[in-house]
Chain A
Amino acid sequence: MTKSSLLAIAAALGFAAAAHAESATYAIEPSHTFATFEIGHFGTSTNRGRFNKTSGTVTLDKAAKTGSLDVTVDTTSLDTGTAAFTKHISSEEILNVAANPTARLVATKFVFNGDKVSEIDGNLTLNGKTNPVVLKAQNFNCYQNPMLKREVCGGDFDATIVRSQYGVSYGLNYGFPDNVHLVIQVEAVKQ
C-alpha cells in the first residue's frame, strides 16, 4: 500500500468520523411536546383533544441532512377539557386506550429544506394498526436553551390521517369526519 493510498484511507476515515460526529441524539422534552387532534363537529366547529404525555428520541444529522425518530404517545393521557368527551374517545368505541395505551410514530426519512427539517415520513401505530404518515413542518428551529444549557431542536408539525384506516370508525355513519388533523408541537434536548 502506498503512502498516498494510506493517506486517502486516513482522510476517508477521518471524514467518516467527522460526519458521524454530526449525528446527535435528542430526547423528547415532554413539557414542550404535545400531539393534538382536531376533528370537525357536525360541520359547525372543531373539537380538539390533546395527549399530555409523550416520550422518545430523535436523531438528527444536520450535515448529512438525515434523521430518525421513535416517539411514543400515552393515549391514556388524553385531555379534551370535557371529562365526558375524554371518556368517550378513550372508550372501546373509539381509541380503546385500555387495550392500546400507546400510539407510536417511527420515522427514518427526514426531508430538509436548507438546514431545516421540512417533512418527516414515518409510520404511525394507533389503535393497534400501522399506516404511513407524512408530517409537514410549519416551524423548525434549533436553539441554545439558556436554562438547560443544551441545544434544543423542535418545531410544529401537522398531518391529516384517515381514522378509519386505524379502525376508528365511530360516528362515520352520522357525519363525523373520517379525516383527523394532527397538530404536533415538539422540542427535543441534545444528549
Chain B
Amino acid sequence: MKPSSSDREAPVSGVPLTAPRGGARPCSGAAARGGRALAPFAWPIRAVASSAIAFLCASAGSLPALAQSVAGPVTYQLDPNHTFVTFEVLHFGTSTLRGRIGPVNGEVTIDRTAKMGDLRLRIPVTTVSTGTRMLDARLREPDLLATTEYPEAYFVATKFQFDVAGGVKEVRGEFTLRGVGEPLSLVARSFACRQDAMLKRQVCGGDFDGALKRSRFGATMGLPFVGDDVHLVVQVEAIAP
C-alpha cells in the first residue's frame, strides 16, 4: 500500500559491520556451486565490487552459460522497508503467536543464466516485536533469542532453484541463530520482478516460507506449551543497481 521510495527511512545498502577478514574473498559472491556456507561477515562491502566479483567468478567457472547470458549476475540490495521476517509458533495448541523481526538488511546476487544465486541476510533479532512489550523482553533473554550475546541472526544461502520463467523458487543455505548454524530452506509462495515506477529500477521479491525447530538452536524456554515448530514467513524485496 506504500509507495516504494518516497517515504523510505533507511538506506537500502546493507553495510556489514565488519570488513572482510584477510582482504577480499574473490568469488565469494558467486560460490553457489561450491555450496559452502560462508562466514556471515565475509561478503564484500561494496555492492559494485560484489557484482563485479560475482561476474568474474561466474565467467571463470561457467563460460558456456555466460556466453548465452545477456545480463550475467546482478546484485540486488534488499529494501529494508519491505523485508521482514515473521515467526509463527503455536501457543498451547490453541492460537498462533507471531513476532516480526526487521527491517532486514542484506543483499542477493542472482544470475538467471547460470541459475545461481547468493543471498546474505543480517537479521537484527533485537528488533523482535510481538505487540506485547513484556513478551518482546522475554524473547530477548538468554533462553530464547539471547540478543545481548547474539544481536543478529544470519541467513547465508548459495543454493538457488529457479522456475521456468526465471523466478526464484527456493533458496537453501545456513541459518545462524544464537550462534548455532542449521540448514534452512526458504520456499517461495510468490516471486515476481517489476520495474518500479518511482525507483526507476528493477525490484524483485516475494513471500517465502521456512520451517525450523527452535530447540535445535537452543531456544527452549516454554517447551512444550509453546511449540518447537517455528514457521517463518519472509517478506523480501530487493532493488537492482
Contact assessment for A85 and B98 in the assembled complex, using a CB-CB cutoff below 8 Å: no
Sorting the interface of chain B by its residue count into under 10, 10 to 19, 20 to 34 or 35 or more gives 35 or more
Give the number of residue pairs across the A-B interface with Cβ within 8 Å: 120
A interface secondary structure, majority: strand
Q: Contact: A152 with B196, CB < 8 Å?
A: no
A139 interfacial contact with B, CB 8 Å: yes
Map CB proximity to A onto B127-166 as digits: 1 under 8 Å, 0 otherwise. Answer: 1010110110000000000000000000000000000000
Interface class of chain B by DSSP: strand
- Among B7, B131, B204, B207, point to the contact of A34 (Cβ < 8 A): B131
For residue A112, CB closer than 8 A to chain B, the reply is: no
A31: interface (CB < 8 Å): yes
Q: What's the nearest-Cβ distance from chain A to residue B81, in Å?
A: 5
Q: How far is the CA of A84 from the CA of B235 in the complex (A)?
A: 18
Given A84-B9, A187-B94 in contact, is the A44-B194 Cβ separation under 8 Å?
yes
The reply to whether A139 and B196 form a contact with Cβ atoms under 8 Å apart is: no
* Bound-complex Cα distance A46 to B96 (A): 19
Given known pairs A82-B103, A84-B2, A170-B1, the reply for A43 and B194 (CB within 8 Å) is yes
Nearest B residue (CB) for A37: B1
Q: How far is the CB of B96 from chain A (nearest CB, A)?
A: 5
Which single member of B94, B103, B236 contacts A143 (CB below 8 Å)?
Answer: B94
- Complex contacts, B98 vs chain A, CB 8 Å: 34, 36, 50, 185
A42 touches B (CB below 8 Å)? yes
Q: Which residue of B lies closest to A187 (CB)?
A: B95
For chain A, the bracket of interface size reads 35 or more
How many Å lie between the Cα of A3 and that of B199 in the bound state?
86
Can you name the residue of chain B whose Cβ is closest to the Cβ of A163? B1
Contact of A187 with B91 in the complex, beta carbons under 8 Å:
yes
CB atoms of B235 and A47 under 8 A apart: yes
Which residues of A sit under 8 angstroms from B131, Cβ to Cβ? 31, 34, 50, 52, 79
Interface set of A (CB-CB < 8 Å, partner B): 30-32, 34, 36, 39, 41-48, 50, 52, 79, 81-85, 88-89, 94, 138-143, 145-146, 152-156, 170-171, 176, 185-187
10 closest Cβ pairs, A-B complex: A84-B7, A141-B94, A52-B131, A31-B132, A154-B95, A45-B205, A44-B205, A45-B235, A185-B95, A85-B2
